[in-house]
Structure 1
Amino acid sequence: MDTTPLGRRETRDGTGQLVFTRSFAAPIGEVWAACTDPERMQGWIGTWTGDPASGEVVFRMTAEGDDAPEEVYLVEVCEAPHRLGVRSRDAAPFSADGSGPRVAWQHTLQLTDAGGSTVLEFTQAVPAGPVGVAMASSVGPGWDYYLDRLAAMIGGTDPDRILWEPYLGRSDGYGALYS
């Protein structure tokens, strides 16, 4: 089992970010659609409803099972087919039991045309300190998993063939980025 995190920690505009980079042998429009079209997204991560022009959508991670809660996301920037920035409307406790500090999810997707292929950079804001260690330990392996599911879908492979369990071994490595 590979326990090496594929993401890295960076500070951007004074905010700690987990940064994930992937390359796809697909045109930028195809990768953009896979990351923004609710029907295409359902194949690898989840789906959304609502009108993005209103500034918010309701997102649900269908790959998490039928009981995954819906979350409202504010669309902060949308520059198709290059950049998308969203933030959860509500901060939630970051722990399985609902205790602890409240954290809002903040994500940015940046796509770059690389001459017929596409480079994807995905970031999630992660605070410093113990909350950051716990958060990175959880979301880091999760984003490796979901981005591999995206790669499978774009590559014509069934994303359901990507199993979650092997990614769990990356938790400590991601936590160490914030220790």
Structure 2
Amino acid sequence: MSTTPLGRRETRNGVERIVFTRTFAAPIADVWAACTEPRRMERWIGTWTGNPASGDVVFRMTAEGEDVPEEVYLVETCEPPRRLEVRSRDSAPFSADGSGPRIAWQHTLELGEADGLTTLVFTQAVPDGPVGAAMAAGVGPGWDYYLDRLGAAIGGADPGTILWEPYLERSESYRSLYS
């Protein structure tokens, strides 16, 4: 497996982000459903409950085991089947021991379809500087892993066959995007 990161750093609307692009041989409606319907999402990343029309949902990652806490996300933009923007309601400390700066997770999903292919562009806001470098070292490989699991789910394969450990080899490459 390559240690080269599949994401890239970009500034979008004045915000530093890691941007991931994937292309699927599937209709846009199918990719949108895989990314937004709780039952479909559970195969590759997690599930959510609540009413997005109210402005927020409770998300729980299930691909990482039982001990992962739920997180409330605010739905900032939802334009099916093309655009979804969410932000964690509460900022969480970004460090293993809880002493690091508090970070709100910000994610954007954009979909486009042409010639029978759907292109997904997923972004995560990552601040500049040392905090961003440490954050990129974790979330970069994580999103490569989850988006590969999404590809497996859309393609009808078992996302459980994709192992996490090889993705850790990309950590330093992602860290270098912010160093």
Write the distance in 2 (CA, Å) between the matches of 1:114 and 1:174.
Answer: 30
Amino acid at match of 1:124: Q
* Aligned match of 2:100: 100
Give the letter aligned to residue 44 of structure 2.
W
Question: What's the counterpart of residue 69 of structure 1?
Answer: 69
Report the Cα distance in structure 2 between the residues aligned to 1:52 and 1:14, rounded to whole angstroms: 27
Name the amino acid aligned to 1:78. C
SS of match in other structure, 1:16: strand
Task: Give the Å deviation of 1:115.
Answer: 2.4
Could you list the structure 1 runs, at least 4 aligned residues long, displaced by more than 3 angstroms after superposition.
none
Q: Which amino acid aligns with 1:115?
A: D
Q: RMSD in angstroms over aligned alpha carbons?
A: 0.5
Aligned length: 179
Where structure 1 has 5 or more consecutive residues not aligned to the other structure, the ranges are: none
Which deviates more from structure 2 when the two are superposed, residues 1-10 or residues 22-31?
1-10
Per the alignment, in what secondary structure is the counterpart of residue 63 of structure 2? helix
Matched to 2:128, the amino acid is A
TM-score by length of 1: 0.99
Q: How much has 1:7 moved relative to structure 2?
A: 0.1
- How far 1:2 moved relative to its partner? 1.5
Q: In structure 1, what is the equivalent of residue 12 of structure 2?
A: 12
Q: Secondary structure at the match of 1:148?
A: helix
Query: In structure 2, what is the Cα distance between the partners aligned to 1:100 and 1:80?
Result: 36
TM-score normalised according to structure 2 size:
0.99
Indicate the residue corresponding to 2:137 in structure 1. Answer: 137
For residue 114 of structure 1, report the CA deviation from its aligned partner: 1.4
SS of aligned partner of 1:168: helix
Give the deviation of 1:97 after TM superposition.
Answer: 1.2
Q: Percent identity?
A: 75
| Unmatched runs of 5 consecutive residues or more in structure 2 | none
